[in-house]
């Protein structure tokens, strides 16, 4: 079946300009490769709430308009150890009938083909043949959400395509990855994705933020109000939507440029942030809560004392929080999204706040500043060689 060329090449989809328009162009390039009879793969990454799932839906709609079959799958942490779980989801979404009768090799693989099993190679060969047969009728797009939680066997299938070159049939794979989550199978994930083309979704532009504000408020928004909403959320659509809904609920007027937007940081943002931070481990979670109480710009030494962490453990926790996009990579501890820090400070449980509080008169550096400076000078050199974000704190404290 011939593939229709994407219409409006170079024109971003409605409401998505800038970097999102560039990402859409990369998707169209993958589809153009498919039109030429070659397979193509693209990774789309971004932080939580940035719009990866919406982007995948748009890619799927574009593919359908071009005559593609579209299969889909979403990976879950609870299914990371289910062999070929993603592959099974993709075929289920095509409604091809009973898997056991239509694709016996897949049913058998689900039962016994573990990653270390020689039988898995045979399953992957059958997968290749099945995809080749399916794409002889019309091209196929497979969209995958949250690939970082993919099972290892499915990652190996993707890795075979990546390392052995694009298979000679019209297959496209567009997969979304969260940059603020740890991969369930790090080695297999890195092996499968290291050499794949990748694009990153970033925050909404000023015009897009203004459009969302106008959709929510009947009043004419003040430009400073719009700028503040964009700044405190970094243009993250999910954070922005939650903030605007809370502002409406509190009766805040967008025409007032002096409105303290952060004073109305929503509780839902705090709950989501806590759930995400807790996955980084107890040290990172405690340190993030301490920074929320101290406020942006806190020094690492003081935050570590408030959190009750030794300095070296706090350094590791900071690296984890920076890597997950919770804190900005700067020597002063600052939340990447100011609205997240304010929401945490507003809605932390009373017990947690009491546990973290320290007397304001206590100087956490008193009597130890010179000792610590000498102690960490050599560590700073090692950190700077490794390029770790923590090295910047050590040099400046």
Express each pLDDT in 309-336 by its tens digit.
999 999 999 999 988 889 988 778 999 9
Does residue 12 have a pLDDT over 60? no
Does residue 82 have a pLDDT over 70? yes
| Residue 273: closest CA among 341, 215, 328, 331 | 341
- Rounded-to-integer distance, Cα 224 and Cα 358, Å: 36
The pLDDT of residue 106 is: 60
The pLDDT of residue 105 is: 57
pLDDT band at 175 (very low <50, low <70, confident <90, very high): very high
Rounded to an integer, the average pLDDT of 233-240 is 93
> Which tokens sit at 201?
């979704």
- CATH 1.10.10 residue window(s) in the chain: 269-367
Contacts by 356-363, CB closer than 8 A, 24 or more apart: 356/286, 356/289, 356/290, 356/293, 356/306, 356/307, 356/308, 357/293, 357/306, 358/305, 358/306
* Superfamily name with CATH number, domain 18-200: P-loop containing nucleotide triphosphate hydrolases (3.40.50.300)
pLDDT band at 85 (very low <50, low <70, confident <90, very high): confident
Could you tell me how many residues make up the chain?
397
Rounded to an integer, the average pLDDT of 203-212 is 91
pTM for the full predicted model = 0.72
- CATH 3.40.50.300 residue window(s) in the chain: 18-200
Spatial strand order in the sheet of 198-200? 69-74, 140-145, 171-178, 40-46, 198-200
Does residue 195 have a pLDDT over 50? yes
Residues 269-367, CATH architecture = Orthogonal Bundle (1.10)
Question: Of 272 and 352, which is predicted with more confidence?
Answer: 272
């Amino acid at each position: 079946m011939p593939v229709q060329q994407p219409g409006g090449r170079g024109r971003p989809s409605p409401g998505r300009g800038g970097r999102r328009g560039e990402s859409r162009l990369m998707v169209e390039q993958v589809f153009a490769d498919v039109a030429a009879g070659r397979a193509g793969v693209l990774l789309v990454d971004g932080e939580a709430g940035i719009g990866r799932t919406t982007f995948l839906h748009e890619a799927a709609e574009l593919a359908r308009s071009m005559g593609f079959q579209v299969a889909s799958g979403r990976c879950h942490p609870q299914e990371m150890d289910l062999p070929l779980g993603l592959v099974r989801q993709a075929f289920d979404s095509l409604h091809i009938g009973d898997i056991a009768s239509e694709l016996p090799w897949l049913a058998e693989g689900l039962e016994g083909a573990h990653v270390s099993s020689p039988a898995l190679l045979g399953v992957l060969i059958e997968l290749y043949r099945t995809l080749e047969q399916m794409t002889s009728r019309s091209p196929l797009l497979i969209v995958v959400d949250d690939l970082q939680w993919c099972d290892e066997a499915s990652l190996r299938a993707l890795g075979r395509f990546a390392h052995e070159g694009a298979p000679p049939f019209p297959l496209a794979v567009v997969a979304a990855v969260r940059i603020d989550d740890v991969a369930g199978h790090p080695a297999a994930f890195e092996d499968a994705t290291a050499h794949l083309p990748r694009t990153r979704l970033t925050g909404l532009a000023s015009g897009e933020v203004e459009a969302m504000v106008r959709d929510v408020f009947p009043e004419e928004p003040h430009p400073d109000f719009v700028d503040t909403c964009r700044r405190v959320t970094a243009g993250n659509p999910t954070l922005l939507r939650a903030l605007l809904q809370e502002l409406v609920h509190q009766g805040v007027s967008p025409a007032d440029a002096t409105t303290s937007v952060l004073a109305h940081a929503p509780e839902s943002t705090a709950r989501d942030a806590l759930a995400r931070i807790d996955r980084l481990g107890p040290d990172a979670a405690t340190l993030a809560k301490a920074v929320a109480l101290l406020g942006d710009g806190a020094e690492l030494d003081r935050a570590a004392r408030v959190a009750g962490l030794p300095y070296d453990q706090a350094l590791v926790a900071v690296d984890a929080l920076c890597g997950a996009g919770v804190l900005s990579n700067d020597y002063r501890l600052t939340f990447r999204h100011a609205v997240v820090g304010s929401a945490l400070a507003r809605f932390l449980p009373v017990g947690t706040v009491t546990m973290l509080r320290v007397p304001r008169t206590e100087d956490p550096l008193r009597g130890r500043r010179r000792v610590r400076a000498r102690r960490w000078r050599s560590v700073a050199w090692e950190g700077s060689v490794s390029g770790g974000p923590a090295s910047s704190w050590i040099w400046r404290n």
